[in-house]
Amino acid sequence: MPVGTKGTVKGLTPEDLREVGAGIVLGNTYHLYLRPGANLIKEAGGLHVFMGWDGPIVTDSGGYQVFSLAQTRRISEEGVEFASVYDGSPHIFTPELTTRVQEDLGSDVAMVLDECPPADAGREYHEESLQRTARWARRCKAAHENTDQALFGIVQGGLYPDLREESLGLTVEIGFDGYAVGGLSVGESREGMLKTLALTAPRLPAEKPRYFMGIGDPVGILKVIALGVDMFDCVLPTRLARHGAALSPEGRLNLKNAKYRKDFGPLVPGCPCGACINHSRAYLAHLVRANELLGHRLVTLHNVRFIVDLCRRARREIGAGRFEAWSRAWISRYEGSDQAGQMS
């Protein structure tokens, strides 16, 4: 899911997203609540109308900001008190408020309010946190009134297998339309993340969507798909583009590298995105080095298309019963070429 934090996937129009095949986008409740405000968006007809996107939208609950803005918030049983990143004004997110805000935004999938502890938090804190997240989840479900909007629960518990099992049991017992694995990709090792996910994802209800919060690199995507994940989001494809990096089957292409100054081939031969069809690596490298907005936009268009196409291909390989072998070969090619490029 491309991330549209403030009601826009950075650099792309809704028409761009439809053109590259994106089927769903993610909005950020924390930022949209603060600016322009959920009431204004509701008055406009909801987030779909406001941003001109007619596909599905997922909104998070603001729980990740509980983790990422640790210096400006205080957690209690009632909710999370925090200072606005825009003007420092005080606010409090409760399970009831974040549920109502997401209903006002009119998203298709809303997330419960959860706490996402840092990777280095101790066991005792993780245990206390997962219990609080479960209590908040019950309050979110009780407050949720929009039957046309799905509500997803979130499993926490850090890297502790027994705590993950405890959180999973509590969350599934409450009962939601889908389930997310949270509290990963927050500073732990990739090995620890995958090991924890391997213990968690297969035990979630098979008939409900499984959502991994916060992964967007090609190899990571294929590895979490292999473990049973259906949905994932990350700002990585768009963030890489703003730093001049393009995704390819041979790894990341750093367009600031001098070797692309006179490279008149496409970013990825055969890629149907507008950047690859109409422009050369040399031109895109020039735009990136000159810090031109068009360069950021074109590379973003390519990177999002690359990830969408990778997921589409993964679905085909799963359907054909070839995913494991295909994924292994794809990752080997990507990592081998990427490492070779970094060494050079």
List the catalytic residues: 60, 233
Nearest-Å Rg of the Cα atoms of the chain is 20
- Long-range CB pairs of 332-335 (<8 Å, 24+ gap) are 333/249, 333/250, 334/218, 334/219, 334/249, 334/250, 334/251, 335/219, 335/251
3-state SS, one letter per residue, for the chain? CCEECCCCCCCCCHHHHHHHCCCCEEECHHHHHHCCCHHHHHHHCCHHHHHCCCCCEEECCCHHHHHHCHHHEEECCCCEEEECCCCCCEEEECHHHHHHHHHHHCCCEEECCCCCCCCCCCHHHHHHHHHHHHHHHHHHHHHCCCCCCEEEEEECCCCCHHHHHHHHHHHHHHCCCEEEECCCCCCCCHHHHHHHHHHHHHHCCCCCCEEEECCCCHHHHHHHHHCCCCEEECCHHHHHHHCCEEEECCEEEECCCHHHCCCCCCCCCCCCCHHHHHCCHHHHHHHHHCCCHHHHHHHHHHHHHHHHHHHHHHHHHHHCCCHHHHHHHHHHHHHHHHHHHHHC
